[in-house]
Amino acid sequence: MATAEPYEPVQYHWFFNQQVDSRDSWQPFSREDSQGLEDAFSQGKNGTEEVVVATEGRRYDVRLRERRRYAVYWEQTPTEVRRCSWFHKGNKDINFSPYTEELCDILEDAYMIAVTLNEWKSNLELPTGETVILHNPKLMTQHQNSFKDFPPSPTDRAQPRTLKRGIENISIEIPEGEPEIVDHLVFMVHGIGPACDIRLRSIVHCVNEFRNASNGLINTHFSQGETTTTIGRVEYLPVNWHRVLHGETTGVDKDIEKITLPSISRLRQFSNDTVLDLFFYNSATYCQTIVDTVASEINSLHSLFLQRHPTFTGNVSLAGHSLGSLILFDLLTNQEIDSEATGRDELHDNDPKIATACCSFNTLEDALRGQGLEEHLKILQRENVDIDSLMLCSERDLKDIGIPLGPRKKIMNFVKKWKVHSRAGSGHAAHSSGLGVRSANEHQTPTTSAVDYQHFDVGIGQVSIDYPQFAFHPQAFFALGSPIGMFLIVRGLKRIDPNYSFPTCKSFYNIFHPFDPVAYRIEPMILPSDVNLPAMLMPHHKGRKRMHLELKEGLNRVSSDFLGSLRMVWQSISQVPTPALAEGGVNSMSPIEEPEDSPLEQEEKIMKVGMLNRGRRIDYVLQETPIESFNEYLFAIQSHLCYWESEDTALLVMKEIYENFPVASSQS
């Protein structure tokens, strides 16, 4: 009889359920997060209070007793979490799936007995009706016993499910853990519609994709410098404004639905969800809703991020895709250099009653009492909300902490009026050499009937609304597939003052794919009209230009050299004889025409490209892939949605972020 091997307890790993095409897909936590969950489970398994563990870069919280995973920064249905040790897979399944924790305990007990007694090939009846056969430590199968509606077919009987014990015995990719230290924070704003890429994924999924690309580049392109500074990571957070615009608060979807024709319903629904966002942004009423939502969401996320990362000392940047870049551009042009110094002493309004009310509230209690809402004071105090933080709250924040709809609307209306009055005396974007100069007298409260478009050389034609202020000064602004240039032209602005820069943001990058039908350039609006400077070609993340582009340049160079040689031969043949030149003298000769500078020579002569990016280049173009180069029309739509998965785009963002950081780029 063979000697029994000693029993070794199984190693647990934590998983969460992620719905993919309405089907369960169990994903493992990183080893670091799984160990953190296991430690918390071991320490609190005898307690009765809920234990909350932050996971995945502190973007999710896991409530251990509830076995649920909750998103922190965005709305998402909570997902199930399991402490897993046993897994099963059928012949048609691609991946192993974990058993419930109860079944894992049953299987582990049976396995321990079989190993200890060295007795195998025993049957184990599960509570679910299936039978598990432990053939040996390496072969274990599950068989279906109960067929309530019809007898099993021969194929069903012959295809048992395979069982595996421990995560080390299944083929699965465990994600890398993320560093605790965050070096930089980037807020990413989406464009039109609820879907952001060619696979119709949400802004959350697309930003996750961009974050993964960024994390990968940290390891491959940036190494620790000579100092003892530890490289952390860059956090990217999504900003969703479409949900609010098309939600119950505005009721705009119901109004549009009433007037929508019934024919080609799917196309009309798509148009209502996407294209109409452009028209909404050019409406004074809904433009105010959009910019308020974007700024409020960013400020709220920024505040929440600082709460969860109290030691964060890095900078913050902004990135916008498509229409989202235009929204951020308009907000940045209307930021005040010292927004915190916009004191409440400057509040004024034509209505003395409202002005007095807004100025007289020094505490949260006074503000709520003045609106007849003092009964909700305890809820706000419980969340440590004071009068200043109330000004940064969004309606979603108030809903999350349990304030009912009616009082919530009253509070938001008060906050909106407070913001309007607090900035009425200071004006917006009033910079003497700026992109758009607007005096305080030109500022108007948004209305549906009086839309004020500016068409002067110093104006940028924005709808006259109240532009909210960010709670921070961004380091950089990245526009992805952006129509900013086109909108400025349509608004009546033909040229951007070379001396202009954003009041609170000193870096600006306009990144686009060469086939993107929505993207437009910025630099030609800054440079002299006689300068034809091509956009900067972004380097490939693997360190060189794509091979098909090098081949194309090589062929163009050979063709150019050949034509140049022919031109020189022709000039030598057709040259005027020397005696004829002597007759007319030197003064009779035509002026010698200077050859036109090549784009490279022009670039060398240009020292500054305006001040939007501190004198540096602004327009950056991606390299198209070989398959895209075959037909630019075929890949036009895809090229506008490619930035979320573009490692080249992520690399440019990372280089700006770590430019003054004590790290070295391992590849150029």
Residues 321, 516 contacting (CB under 8 angstroms) = no
Distance CA 107, CA 165 (A): 9
**Closest residue by Cα to residue 505 from 616, 653, 614:** 614
CA dihedral 380, 386, 390, 392 (to 10 degrees): -130
Tell me the pairing of strands 663-665 and 222-224.
antiparallel
Distance CA 424, CA 434 (A): 20
Residues 190, 242 contacting (CB under 8 angstroms) = yes
Whether residue 271 lies in the annotated active site: no
Distance CA 285, CA 296 (A): 17
**604 half-sphere exposure, CB direction, 13 A CA radius:** 5
DSSP letters along 166-194, please? SGGGS---PPPPPPS-EEEEEEEE--SSS
Candidates 34, 85, 202, 322; catalytic one: 322
Distance CA 622, CA 640 (A): 11
Cα 264 from chain centroid (whole Å): 32
Residues 610, 498 contacting (CB under 8 angstroms) = yes
Distance CA 77, CA 59 (A): 14
Cα 655 from chain centroid (whole Å): 17
> In sequence order, which residues have a C-beta less than 8 Å from that of residue 254 and are 6 or more positions away?
none
Q: Exposed e or buried b for every residue in 316-353, given b needs 16+ CB within 10 A?
A: bbbbbbbbbbbbbbbbbbbbbeebeeeeeeebebeeee
* Helix axes of 323-333 and 284-308: crossing angle, nearest 10 degrees: 80
Residues 280, 244 contacting (CB under 8 angstroms) = no
The values of phi and psi at residue 61, to 5°, are: -115, 135
Encoded tokens for 64: 């251990």
Q: Supply the residues annotated as catalytic.
A: 322
